[in-house]
Amino acid sequence: MAHCVVEEAEAILDREFPALDKGFVRLVDYLGGDERVVQAARVSYGAGTRAYREDAGLIDYLLRNEHTSPFEQVVLTFHVKLPIFVARQWVRHRTARLNEISGRYSVMKDDFYVPEGGDIALQSTDNKQGRGESLDAALAGEIRAGLEQGQRRAYGDYGALIDKGVARELARINLPLSLYTEWYWQIDLHNLFRFLELRLDAHAQLEIRRYAEVLFEITRKVAPRCCASFERHRLHGVRFSRDEFAEIRRRLGTCGDAAGDAALEGKALERFEEKLRGNPPGKQNGGPR
């Protein structure tokens, strides 16, 4: 089994997996996988058995109980091409090492992100940082054309400044956030799971969610058992506060009258009901950007 996992991981090294219209994610290198997590844990927990099922159970136990250090032993390095506005959200996660292409040293490529028509929407009326109702195809097409026109104009101005010999670090300053940049991004598995937990959430911006989906599929090849456990306990799992848990017990009739009569109020009840609907709050973008 371990041999098959290594073969699958090696097979995707240096392959570009597309994201958005012109972006990609590429696994440059990795250190360790499921076996490394198990080996690191056994330093603390002793040798024990090494059957596949028991290793998977150990990984489950570690992740469920937040024994994070064994997952930090696995490290992945990605080459990512992404729009600058996505990059600005991405770097809110300050638990990785990155090196980005420099517009001071290099002439930036004429690559800009243009959203698909179906992804263009109005501002949400109940979410200050999200999208709401989609636009009709004609209006969406008009907006796409306007975005492309603005991008061509901005890059033309940039090129003209470069041709005049203006310093690259100055020529770039009017380029829009839709311009693509590239970086190498290295992160351990524990912090990658934290990134994915936030950026795969439905509240995350669509564009960064697309990258998170690609990152997760690549990571499955490197550490499939860890990813399965992450899906089960973190990505699709739910945590409850003490008050919310008390309300669950009350509704199930498993506690005494005193606790049962203590109904949740305001935000606590709202959070509880959101969780029951399968839409956990509190995972919105990992920050205000």
Task: Just list the catalytic residues.
Answer: 199
Nearest CA among 113, 119, 118, 123 for reference residue 84: 113
Residue 24 bridge partners (DSSP) = 18, 81
Residue 23 bridge partners (DSSP) = 19
Nearest CA among 115, 93, 91 for reference residue 206: 115
Q: How far apart are CA 182 and CA 173, in angstroms?
A: 17
Cα–Cα distances (Å) from 12 to 102, 141, 275, in that order, read: 27, 36, 36
User: Which are the contacts of 23, defined by CB distance < 8 A and separation ≥ 6?
Assistant: 80, 81, 82, 83, 113, 180, 211
Environment class of 194 (CB within 10 Å of its CB; exposed 0-12, middle 13-18, buried 19+): middle
Long-range residue pairs from 40-46, CB within 8 A, at least 24 positions apart, any chain: 40/69, 40/70, 40/73, 41/67, 41/70
Backbone angles phi, psi at 206, to 5 degrees: -50, -45
Q: How far apart are CA 127 and CA 125, in angstroms?
A: 6
